[in-house]
């Protein structure tokens, strides 16, 4: 039971006893006491004056006095105008710790009966995953975990963008420039080889544009007239016409990419419940385009292209089908959304996509509503900011991205370097060190990205992320390992039953219990806001508070057995809560570091 609910229930009992009035406990306003006043939680008494027929302070004093005399968990009170500030007794904090320690799934909220799909990653098969994809994947995975912890049934999905002119660009470059090279013949990971093809196409295309401009064509005309771009569009048309040679090449190169993606996902600990492919869903969108034409939602132009006029809604006209009959992104998104809601009976759908697509999702929801789908209002776009590096933004076509695989390896090396310099792992066997380097490196990467509010653009600095001090993953991992070390050295057994009402926690111990008690509310807050950063920073606050406590309170030196058991239960519960919180972020906490 939360402190707010506890006070609401007891205050309702006080009001009935004092004034003979029955009030709904949930209607009473309770909040954390402001720092400038003495107390833990505050009951707002202004709304109760019509019941007490008295002034604010006498009303507060009467309720406070009744609570102190009848509720052993309330130790003291003070009434300031229309606010009754209440202080909990040691009994309350002991009971709270005992309840938390006894709750195996502490932080897991009750079932909601809702089914939610979270789509994330959704890569293109013309390049490997990069740093931007990492933020997408880590947000999508942690949001999925959070929504599940909030009591929802969650389906993690991805749609692979495996068709389109950008895919054809890589295919065309491989045909023209790569002399039949394969991952097997080059030793290059499949998604990286295809990404090299994409970069090579861009260089070829730019050279053609320059040549045309040198011959006197204006830049915009030259960009449209470049032979390689025309060939890529022709290849897309052939693909949609099911040309055997084009399809065979497409299948081979996509296979290389899928194998590469699988390796990267495994390294990040990412899995999906449902995988769709644009090549299989774009036709669904075409069916909706036909429906929209029949109902007047869409209009066909003289060149055969199909549009949706959204100008009356404050937007613009949106192309939903090209004149040559090929699809655009919005086409398959319409069809995929319709299929997912009907197939899975979804209550909501969260798309984890960067903020450069804000307009796209505005349009998607609006068109779906115009097509008559009531569930369009249950589509949510988790719009996140881009990841930048100290040297600026990344561009896939220019080959200036930071590949996910390279970054994961770099984080492992940073973890190894930092650990060796600190000497923290010096006494461990080599194989255990190697395992920890990977856990620490990946934890540093995940935490540094997730701790930033999704809406914000962020600067990623690998060296800063691996620091064992400050708001970092390794700091929390090391704190957990320190607690585990203390517990291993404990000279006696302990359990929740050892937290008895006669123990008097110190001020720092009360602070830790307060923080522990906030965890379910933080999970709910993070889930509602679709912001794993809330849980990440909560875990940091908890770890930081423990370190301050441990600096002043050498747990194992406590001579009183009852107090020692209390403290062991406290830090054991803290370690378990850290594991749960960081687990929601997909981050492992080692027991030894």
How does pLDDT run across 216-254, given as a tens digit for each residue?
999 999 999 999 999 999 999 999 899 999 999 999 999
Per-domain residue ranges of the chain? 3-88, 163-272, 406-583
Tens digit of each residue's pLDDT (9 = 90 or more) over 40-78: 999 999 999 999 999 999 999 999 999 999 999 999 999
CA separation, residue 335 to residues 153, 360, 381, 399, 575 (Å): 23, 15, 17, 33, 46
C-alpha–C-alpha distance, residues 546 and 535, integer Å: 17
Mean pLDDT of 122-132: 90
Q: What is the pLDDT of residue 399?
A: 46
Q: Cα dihedral sign for 187, 193, 199, 204?
A: positive
Tens digit of each residue's pLDDT (9 = 90 or more) over 331-382: 889 999 999 999 999 999 999 999 999 999 999 999 999 999 999 999 999 9
Among residues 574, 582, 542, the alpha carbon closest in space to that of 97 is found at 574
Radius of gyration for the alpha carbons in the chain, expressed in angstroms and rounded: 30
DSSP per-residue string spanning 35-98:
TTSSSSEEEE-GGGHHHHTS-HHHHHHHHHHHHHHH-TTEEEEEEETTEEEEEE-HHHHHHHHH
C-alpha–C-alpha distance, residues 60 and 435, integer Å: 58
Q: What is the pLDDT of residue 444?
A: 93
C-alpha–C-alpha distance, residues 590 and 67, integer Å: 45
Q: What is the pLDDT of residue 85?
A: 97
Would you place residue 396 in the very low, low, confident or very high pLDDT band (cuts 50, 70, 90)?
Answer: very low
Tell me the whole-structure pTM to 2 decimals.
Answer: 0.89
- Contact yes or no for 451/540 (Cβ under 8 A): yes
Give the SS3 label for residue 403.
Answer: strand
Give, as one character, the DSSP assignment of residue 159.
E
State the SS3 of 250-290. Answer: HHHHHHHHHHHHHHHHHHHCCCCCEEEEHHHHHHHHHHHHH
Tens digit of each residue's pLDDT (9 = 90 or more) over 407-461: 899 899 988 988 888 887 888 889 999 999 999 999 999 999 999 999 998 888 7
State the SS3 of 203-269. Answer: HHHHHHHHHHHHCCCCHHHHHHHCHHHHHHHHHHHHHHCCCHHHHHHHHHHHHHHHHHHHHHHHHHC
- Contact yes or no for 76/549 (Cβ under 8 A): no
Of the candidate ranges 165-169, 428-432, 542-546, the one whose mean pLDDT is the lowest? 428-432
Q: What is the pLDDT of residue 240?
A: 85
Would you place residue 400 in the very low, low, confident or very high pLDDT band (cuts 50, 70, 90)?
Answer: low
Tens digit of each residue's pLDDT (9 = 90 or more) over 103-116: 999 999 999 999 99
- Torsion, Cα of 44, 50, 55, 59 (10° steps): -60
Given a cut of 70, whether residue 395 has pLDDT beyond it is: no
Tens digit of each residue's pLDDT (9 = 90 or more) over 512-536: 999 999 999 999 999 999 999 999 9
CA separation, residue 14 to residues 39, 57, 60, 66 (Å): 19, 16, 11, 6
Q: What is the pLDDT of residue 454?
A: 94
C-alpha–C-alpha distance, residues 583 and 450, integer Å: 12
Give the SS3 label for residue 453.
Answer: coil
Contact residues for 178 (Cβ-Cβ < 8 A; gap 6+): 196, 197, 200
Given a cut of 90, whether residue 593 has pLDDT beyond it is: no
Of the candidate ranges 164-168, 452-456, 466-470, 503-507, the one whose mean pLDDT is the lowest? 466-470
Q: What is the pLDDT of residue 459?
A: 85
Tens digit of each residue's pLDDT (9 = 90 or more) over 129-138: 988 899 999 9
C-alpha–C-alpha distance, residues 68 and 540, integer Å: 35
- Phi then psi for residue 398, to 5 deg, are -95, 0
Given a cut of 70, whether residue 572 has pLDDT beyond it is: yes
Taking residue 482's Cβ as centre, other Cβ atoms within 10 Å add up to 17
With respect to CATH, is domain 406-583 assigned 1.10.730.10?
Answer: yes
Q: What is the pLDDT of residue 15?
A: 97
Mean pLDDT of 19-26: 95
Q: What is the pLDDT of residue 428?
A: 85
The angle that helices 507-517 and 90-102 make with each other, rounded to 10 degrees, is: 50
What's the chain's average pLDDT? 93
Q: What is the pLDDT of residue 221?
A: 94
CA 103: distance to chain centroid? 25
CA separation, residue 184 to residues 173, 187, 188, 190, 258 (Å): 18, 5, 7, 9, 15
- Contact yes or no for 66/18 (Cβ under 8 A): yes
With b for 16 or more beta-carbon neighbours within 10 A and e for fewer, the 134-145 pattern comes to bbbbbbbbbbbb
Mean pLDDT of 377-402: 72
C-alpha–C-alpha distance, residues 349 and 111, integer Å: 18
Given a cut of 80, whether residue 394 has pLDDT beyond it is: no
C-alpha–C-alpha distance, residues 49 and 54, integer Å: 6
- Contact yes or no for 6/58 (Cβ under 8 A): no
Q: Cα dihedral sign for 495, 501, 502, 506?
A: positive
Given a cut of 70, whether residue 187 has pLDDT beyond it is: yes
Locate tokens 């600096």: which residue?
Answer: 551
Q: Give the residues across from 459 on adjacent strands.
A: 388
Given a cut of 60, whether residue 281 has pLDDT beyond it is: yes
C-alpha–C-alpha distance, residues 489 and 124, integer Å: 51
With respect to CATH, is domain 3-88 assigned 3.30.1360.70?
Answer: yes
- Contact yes or no for 562/495 (Cβ under 8 A): no
- Contact yes or no for 552/507 (Cβ under 8 A): no
CA separation, residue 120 to residues 141, 218, 351, 357, 540 (Å): 8, 40, 6, 13, 26
């Amino acid at each position: 039971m939360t402190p707010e609910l506890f006070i609401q229930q007891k205050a309702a009992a006080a009001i009935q006893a004092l004034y003979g009035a029955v009030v709904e406990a949930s209607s009473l306003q309770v909040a954390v006491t402001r720092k400038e006043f003495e107390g833990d939680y505050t009951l707002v008494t202004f709304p109760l004056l019509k019941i007490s027929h008295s002034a604010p302070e006498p009303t507060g004093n009467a309720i406070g006095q009744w609570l102190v005399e009848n509720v052993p968990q309330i130790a003291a009170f003070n009434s300031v105008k229309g606010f009754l500030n209440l202080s909990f007794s040691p009994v309350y904090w002991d009971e709270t710790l005992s309840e938390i320690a006894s709750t195996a799934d502490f932080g897991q909220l009750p079932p909601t009966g809702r089914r939610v799909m979270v789509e994330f990653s959704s890569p293109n098969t013309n390049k490997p995953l990069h740093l931007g994809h990492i933020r997408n994947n880590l947000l999508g995975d942690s949001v999925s975990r959070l929504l599940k912890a909030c009591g929802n049934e969650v389906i993690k999905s991805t749609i692979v963008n495996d068709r389109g002119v950008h895919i054809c660009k890589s295919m065309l470059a491989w045909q023209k420039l790569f002399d039949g090279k394969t991952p097997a013949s080059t030793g290059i990971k499949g998604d990286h080889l295809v990404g090299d093809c994409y970069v090579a196409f861009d260089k070829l295309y730019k050279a053609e544009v320059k040549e045309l401009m040198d011959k006197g064509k204006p830049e915009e005309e030259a960009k449209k007239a470049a032979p390689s771009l025309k060939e890529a569009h022709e290849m897309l048309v052939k693909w949609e016409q099911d040309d055997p040679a084009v399809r065979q090449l497409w299948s081979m190169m996509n296979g290389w990419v899928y194998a590469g993606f699988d390796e990267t996902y495994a390294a990040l600990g990412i899995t999906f419940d449902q995988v769709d492919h644009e090549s299989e869903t774009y036709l669904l969108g075409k069916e909706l385009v036909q429906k929209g034409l029949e109902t007047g939602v869409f209009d066909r132009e003289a060149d055969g292209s199909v549009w949706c006029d959204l100008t009356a809604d404050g937007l613009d006209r949106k192309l939903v089908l090209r004149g040559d009959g090929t699809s655009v992104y919005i086409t398959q998104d319409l069809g995929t959304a319709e299929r997912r809601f009907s197939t899975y009976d979804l209550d909501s759908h969260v798309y984890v996509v960067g903020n450069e697509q804000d307009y796209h999702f505005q349009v998607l929801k609006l068109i779906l509503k115009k097509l008559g789908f009531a569930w369009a209002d249950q589509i949510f776009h988790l719009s996140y900011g881009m990841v930048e590096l100290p040297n600026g933004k990344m561009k896939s076509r220019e080959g200036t991205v930071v590949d996910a695989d390279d970054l994961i390896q770099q984080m492992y090396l940073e973890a190894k370097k930092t650990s060796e310099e600190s000497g923290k792992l010096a006494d461990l066997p080599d194989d255990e060190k190697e395992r920890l380097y990977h856990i620490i490196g990946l934890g540093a990467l995940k935490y540094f990205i997730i701790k930033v509010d999704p809406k914000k653009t962020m600067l990623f600095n690998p060296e800063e992320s691996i620091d064992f001090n400050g708001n970092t993953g390794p700091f929390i991992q090391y704190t957990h390992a320190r607690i585990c070390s203390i517990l291993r050295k404990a000279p006696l057994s302990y359990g929740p039953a050892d937290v008895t009402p006669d123990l008097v926690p110190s001020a720092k111990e009360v602070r830790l219990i307060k923080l522990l008690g906030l965890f379910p509310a933080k999970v709910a807050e993070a889930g509602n806001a679709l912001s794993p950063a809330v849980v990440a920073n909560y875990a940091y606050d908890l770890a930081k508070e423990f370190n301050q406590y441990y600096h002043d309170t050498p747990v194992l030196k406590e001579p009183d057995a009852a107090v020692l058991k209390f403290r062991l239960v406290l830090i054991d519960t803290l370690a378990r809560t850290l594991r749960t919180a960081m687990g929601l972020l997909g981050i492992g906490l080692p027991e030894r570091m």
